[in-house]
Chain A
């Protein structure tokens, strides 16, 4: 009768959950202290002290979770529920969690100043962020469909709220509403897919679904297709991408950065698990779907990015295109494909957060830099921000020796290896499309450095903003990561060399005790 639970397995998630629950309380308590002019350590509590306290608390929890995650990286698979596989903590989960936590930490560090700049300095922001993060961490770890769906919703709903966090801004409201409506639609499809899979196989456990998967049963196939649609929405791949530019543009900049990175990381993590374990018997049928999604996402994303005038919209399409690159790893479907994909996720997180951080820094009193042309002469007014932005753009474009280059490199070598191993030319075509798209992407990635360095600052419509110390720290972290990973990429890939991701995911999905 008593469930057999292992709480230590999910300790990082517990840290995050505790934060998500306690932060609203902390916020109101601090607000009350401010209201009543209470003093603490001899100083009257004011808004800045309150938000500092909240940020410190949040970052502390996240760092603890990160340390715990990294510290236990090498341990064998751990299950939360020892009777029934629902949350599996294997190397895949731990790596995803580490990347997610890094993304969250960086976002929090940038946000404290940014929120003050847009006049939205409320502690609820961090609570929502942590709640969403918890969902993401669980999503990557979910080994049954119910957990998967719950985690997906836990991830999505706070993100909807975060997108609309800037209540006074119409764009932010539009962003939240669109995201919510389309997101609900996608969730509904995914849930329907889960239901069909359950109906066809009689189980919600991924490992059992794989056993009962009948590639000729229309019910199974319909279910799988709908699940894929749900994921395709989350990773914003064409043709399920159209919300992305509108939502990215309207959402507060730091939320956009978080959305662009963490949601992708979590969704791809879960997708790996679903594809490599649950739907594995249907791999051949799904291959075509992924192939087309990848090609369309890369091409449409890059082509549309070229004509954008708004920086955030441009980065949104760029993120669609990067989703396409990452899908190549799913198409490859081998250890090296998945490892390349995971490596790409890590790299992508730093590049994208770096770029959005620069945009966040340039925000002041609710005014932000929207058009690309408004970045003109940035190297004069914000030399360091301009350097980091340039690094991020070069890395996103995949120029060696920066991290982004190696990301693409591993995806490409994975594809080519696999293609030569099984003699499949369609993978080669995919690799060629990837390379061609990288070339196209140069057109808009290089535009930013050109504008920043070769145009005069005069005439640029840009608020007079300065970077906070924490924001500068984030810039440094991103820049160093891009360069360092670029210099020693092997060390990061070797992380996965010791672990057979697919096998480990399969083991993780199976029940531990019979």
Chain B
């Protein structure tokens, strides 16, 4: 059985080819390609990738258990003895799930974009440019998930960051959008710095035990040697008291996790994600809900061999995830921008995934990642359809009653809402249960019961704000002006078709791999090996739990209870008694204000970090260091000196007269002769 598989490279190759073709065109040709060509190239690439992915993942499942991986080695990228880094791809169960999500959901969103971006006439070649960026993103994301070592992964990691920046500011003519793009990029830099530090630290650590590598399989095989290594400080730093007691792996994993926090919008680096909604809605769906933001979760799961040996780091992951989940969910309760609600919901759900990953229930994290990709993409695309229908209105206070004008959008959106709310036997229900079960069963995790409680509470909050969103948009009487309301129209087929597919997946994707408990209960003797949990064991090992089936059912019932309570409360407030909302809001005004203002986190950051930084940059770094020291004295000073020499001295000799040239040549010749004849006898 060989694990070499050269078909893997095709998967990122198609989007890359699309980027190259389209990019060359934009560089060299005037105007854009024809619409048909843009669609064919733009949508064809991810669809082809998806088909290849399907085939290869199917091949993967047919391999022997415990041996399920394909490697595709392109070439040696860096060869600096003893360190080697290959540009190679790894397809194992973990990346298999990821590429199916990336190419599958990606393809649907590409198709959706055809309908959504159709009226994008703000710029001559915007349509083609948009698909170029989307494909560049798909390529980078595939590099990220298929990368066989941390370096390739990092390349993809930076690539998706770049695309995120480009796409958030896609309508760059409006300053606000460009600023949001910058914010996302800058906040991500903080995370990336941590990630890089983590890579260096890991490399150094592995090198110190004799296997200098950043390749996942090798690291995984050698990680045991590092299990007990403590951080050793150089003598100069020994006055720092805390560090010597730290495990090296803990420190490295924490650094990695800082990167994950940035990319996956966790506390305290989440602030860029809501602002990222400035991008076109398909972008929000693809990058800021389904795929890129889950890269942090993927990375933690990919590095699970290290995290599982670093309980301190894992606990941090779990607690950051749990707190983010509830924190973002509360903010989502009050927001009025349809995309902002979904953005905070995404932050919250990502928190869920980290909660699972921190509880060492990696398969649960990936499970939730996959289902979330479907229903969150669906919700975003549905919201996009609403925004299209409302002619770029995003304020839910100005919506309502859209059910009657956008029948299909309403139906599909509702599927997504119910799935994320945790209604039993929709995909969100199962994956959320897995996450909560993981937290419940993680005895080694300090405060795991508290985290479990937070998770259950968040489930209730999630159900509440999602239903609120749904009612505010679709139900009741409209709050839009009659002209606006009458102009509302159902979206075209390009938009609705992906919605339908995603709705079906949101409802039923769990059937492909139900959790163990439900597989047994519902399908009787169903083989365990069909469950995702089981499939993922090799790539991202989950700790076995000792929770009995009865307890498990009880937990599910409890979570369902909370979810139903949330649904009921939302229905009561926003469907049956909408007039009560204002009164209730007034009653809890202080709390409402805190949530409405998002805990003033942006303002606090602005005050504590942004402004002091700007002040220092402006006054110290720019005026003093850059303008005075470097520019005036360093750069301009030397430049002026050089120019001075050239202008006053050398230019004077370059007279343009042949006679003077000859004189200088003669002097030069005499100089050479004199020099050479020194030694003559």
Q: From residue A386, how far is it (CB to closest CB) to chain B in Å?
A: 10
Cβ contact within 8 Å between B647 and A189: no
Q: How does the 8 Å CB contact mask read for A356-386 relative to B, with 1 for contact and 0 for none?
A: 0000000000000000000000000001100
Given contacts A304-B651, A306-B642, A383-B27, contact A289 B665 (CB under 8 A): no
The listed residue (A177, A185, A289) touching B672 by CB distance below 8 A is A289
The listed residue (A182, A282, A288, A384) touching B665 by CB distance below 8 A is A182
The listed residue (B654, B662, B664, B679) touching A215 by CB distance below 8 A is B679
Cβ contact within 8 Å between A303 and B645: yes
24 A–B pairs (Cβ distance < 8 Å), ordered by A:
A181-B662, A182-B661, A216-B679, A216-B681, A221-B673, A221-B679, A221-B680, A224-B676, A225-B673, A225-B676, A226-B673, A228-B676, A229-B669, A239-B664, A242-B661, A245-B654, A285-B679, A288-B675, A289-B675, A303-B642, A303-B646, A304-B654, A306-B642, A384-B28
For the complex, is A513 an interface residue (Cβ under 8 Å from B)? no
For the complex, is B544 an interface residue (Cβ under 8 Å from A)? no
Chain B residue contacts of A289, Cβ below 8 A:
672, 675-676
For the complex, is A211 an interface residue (Cβ under 8 Å from B)? no
For the complex, is B407 an interface residue (Cβ under 8 Å from A)? no
- Select from chain A the residue with minimum beta-carbon distance to B643: A307
In the assembly, what is the distance between CA of A444 and CA of B475, in Å?
66
In the assembly, what is the distance between CA of A186 and CA of B27, in Å?
48
Cβ contact within 8 Å between B654 and A221: no
Q: From residue A487, how far is it (CB to closest CB) to chain B in Å?
A: 12
- Select from chain A the residue with minimum beta-carbon distance to B641: A303
Chain A residue contacts of B662, Cβ below 8 A:
181-182, 185
Within 8 A of A (CB), among B629-681: 639, 642-643, 645-647, 650-651, 653-654, 656, 658, 661-662, 664-665, 667-669, 672-673, 675-681
For the complex, is A440 an interface residue (Cβ under 8 Å from B)? yes
In the assembly, what is the distance between CA of A307 and CA of B647, in Å?
7
Cβ contact within 8 Å between A218 and B680: yes
Chain B residue contacts of A186, Cβ below 8 A:
665
For the complex, is A233 an interface residue (Cβ under 8 Å from B)? yes
Chain B residue contacts of A189, Cβ below 8 A:
669
The 3 A-B pairs with the shortest beta carbon distances in the complex, nearest first, are A239-B668, A218-B680, A225-B676
Known: A221-B673, A224-B676, A239-B667. 8 other contacts (CB 8 A): A178-B658, A182-B658, A221-B676, A229-B668, A232-B672, A285-B676, A384-B27, A387-B27
For the complex, is A15 an interface residue (Cβ under 8 Å from B)? no
Q: From residue A150, how far is it (CB to closest CB) to chain B in Å?
A: 22
Q: From residue B199, how far is it (CB to closest CB) to chain A in Å?
A: 23
For the complex, is A14 an interface residue (Cβ under 8 Å from B)? no
Which residue numbers of B lie inside 8 Å of A, CB to CB? 27-28, 639, 642-643, 645-647, 650-651, 653-654, 656, 658, 661-662, 664-665, 667-669, 672-673, 675-681
- Select from chain A the residue with minimum beta-carbon distance to B645: A303
In the assembly, what is the distance between CA of A497 and CA of B647, in Å?
44
In the assembly, what is the distance between CA of A76 and CA of B2, in Å?
48
Cβ contact within 8 Å between A240 and B665: yes
Given contacts A216-B681, A226-B669, A288-B675, contact A242 B664 (CB under 8 A): yes
Which residue numbers of A lie inside 8 Å of B, CB to CB? 177-178, 181-182, 185-186, 189, 215-218, 221-222, 224-226, 228-229, 232-233, 238-240, 242-243, 245-246, 282, 285-286, 288-289, 292, 300, 303-304, 306-307, 383-384, 387, 440, 443
- Select from chain B the residue with minimum beta-carbon distance to A239: B668
Q: From residue A220, how far is it (CB to closest CB) to chain B in Å?
A: 8
The listed residue (B656, B667, B672) touching A225 by CB distance below 8 A is B672
In the assembly, what is the distance between CA of A440 and CA of B664, in Å?
25
In the assembly, what is the distance between CA of A233 and CA of B679, in Å?
24
Cβ contact within 8 Å between A185 and B665: yes
Q: From residue B251, how far is it (CB to closest CB) to chain A in Å?
A: 34
Given contacts A240-B665, A383-B27, contact A303 B650 (CB under 8 A): yes
In the assembly, what is the distance between CA of A189 and CA of B668, in Å?
12
In the assembly, what is the distance between CA of A228 and CA of B651, in Å?
25
Q: From residue B654, how far is it (CB to closest CB) to chain A in Å?
A: 6
Cβ contact within 8 Å between B672 and A233: no
Chain B residue contacts of A181, Cβ below 8 A:
658, 662
Chain A residue contacts of B661, Cβ below 8 A:
178, 182, 242-243
Q: From residue A215, how far is it (CB to closest CB) to chain B in Å?
A: 6
Chain A residue contacts of B642, Cβ below 8 A:
303, 306, 440, 443
Cβ contact within 8 Å between A300 and B672: no
Cβ contact within 8 Å between B646 and A304: yes
Given contacts A181-B658, A182-B658, contact A307 B676 (CB under 8 A): no
Q: From residue A289, how far is it (CB to closest CB) to chain B in Å?
A: 5
Q: From residue B29, how far is it (CB to closest CB) to chain A in Å?
A: 9
Name the prevailing secondary structure of the A interface residues: helix
Q: From residue B651, how far is it (CB to closest CB) to chain A in Å?
A: 7
In the assembly, what is the distance between CA of A186 and CA of B673, in Å?
14
Chain B residue contacts of A383, Cβ below 8 A:
27-28
Cβ contact within 8 Å between B668 and A240: yes
Given contacts A182-B665, A242-B654, contact A222 B646 (CB under 8 A): no
Chain A residue contacts of B681, Cβ below 8 A:
216-218
Chain A residue contacts of B28, Cβ below 8 A:
383-384
Chain A residue contacts of B676, Cβ below 8 A:
221-222, 224-225, 228, 282, 285-286, 289
Chain A residue contacts of B667, Cβ below 8 A:
239
Q: From residue A401, how far is it (CB to closest CB) to chain B in Å?
A: 13
In the assembly, what is the distance between CA of A440 and CA of B662, in Å?
28
Chain B CB count within 10 A is highest, among A181, A216, A246, A304, for: A304
Given contacts A229-B672, A383-B27, contact A307 B651 (CB under 8 A): yes
Chain A residue contacts of B654, Cβ below 8 A:
242, 245, 304
Q: From residue B350, how far is it (CB to closest CB) to chain A in Å?
A: 38
Cβ contact within 8 Å between A300 and B679: no
In the assembly, what is the distance between CA of A300 and CA of B646, in Å?
8
Q: From residue A425, how far is it (CB to closest CB) to chain B in Å?
A: 20
Q: From residue A408, how far is it (CB to closest CB) to chain B in Å?
A: 20
The listed residue (A215, A216, A292, A307) touching B646 by CB distance below 8 A is A307
In the assembly, what is the distance between CA of A514 and CA of B176, in Å?
86
The listed residue (A185, A225, A245) touching B677 by CB distance below 8 A is A225
Chain B residue contacts of A216, Cβ below 8 A:
679-681
Cβ contact within 8 Å between A304 and B650: yes
- Select from chain A the residue with minimum beta-carbon distance to B650: A304
Chain B residue contacts of A185, Cβ below 8 A:
662, 665
Given contacts A182-B661, A239-B664, contact A300 B673 (CB under 8 A): no
Chain A residue contacts of B669, Cβ below 8 A:
189, 225-226, 229, 240
In the assembly, what is the distance between CA of A384 and CA of B676, in Å?
50
- Select from chain A the residue with minimum beta-carbon distance to B674: A225
Q: From residue B631, how far is it (CB to closest CB) to chain A in Å?
A: 14
In the assembly, what is the distance between CA of A189 and CA of B672, in Å?
12
Cβ contact within 8 Å between A306 and B646: yes
Chain A residue contacts of B27, Cβ below 8 A:
383-384, 387
In the assembly, what is the distance between CA of A306 and CA of B658, in Å?
23
- Select from chain A the residue with minimum beta-carbon distance to B635: A443
Chain B residue contacts of A286, Cβ below 8 A:
676
- Select from chain A the residue with minimum beta-carbon distance to B27: A383
The listed residue (A225, A300, A440) touching B650 by CB distance below 8 A is A300
Q: From residue B445, how far is it (CB to closest CB) to chain A in Å?
A: 48
- Select from chain A the residue with minimum beta-carbon distance to B662: A185
In the assembly, what is the distance between CA of A226 and CA of B674, in Å?
11
Cβ contact within 8 Å between B672 and A228: yes
Q: From residue B137, how far is it (CB to closest CB) to chain A in Å?
A: 24
Q: From residue A296, how far is it (CB to closest CB) to chain B in Å?
A: 9
In the assembly, what is the distance between CA of A383 and CA of B646, in Å?
33
Cβ contact within 8 Å between B677 and A221: yes
Chain B residue contacts of A240, Cβ below 8 A:
665, 668-669
The listed residue (A221, A232, A246, A292) touching B656 by CB distance below 8 A is A246
Chain A residue contacts of B647, Cβ below 8 A:
307
- Select from chain B the residue with minimum beta-carbon distance to A178: B658
Cβ contact within 8 Å between B650 and A218: no
Q: From residue A337, how far is it (CB to closest CB) to chain B in Å?
A: 21
In the assembly, what is the distance between CA of A178 and CA of B665, in Å?
13
Chain B residue contacts of A443, Cβ below 8 A:
639, 642
Chain B residue contacts of A384, Cβ below 8 A:
27-28
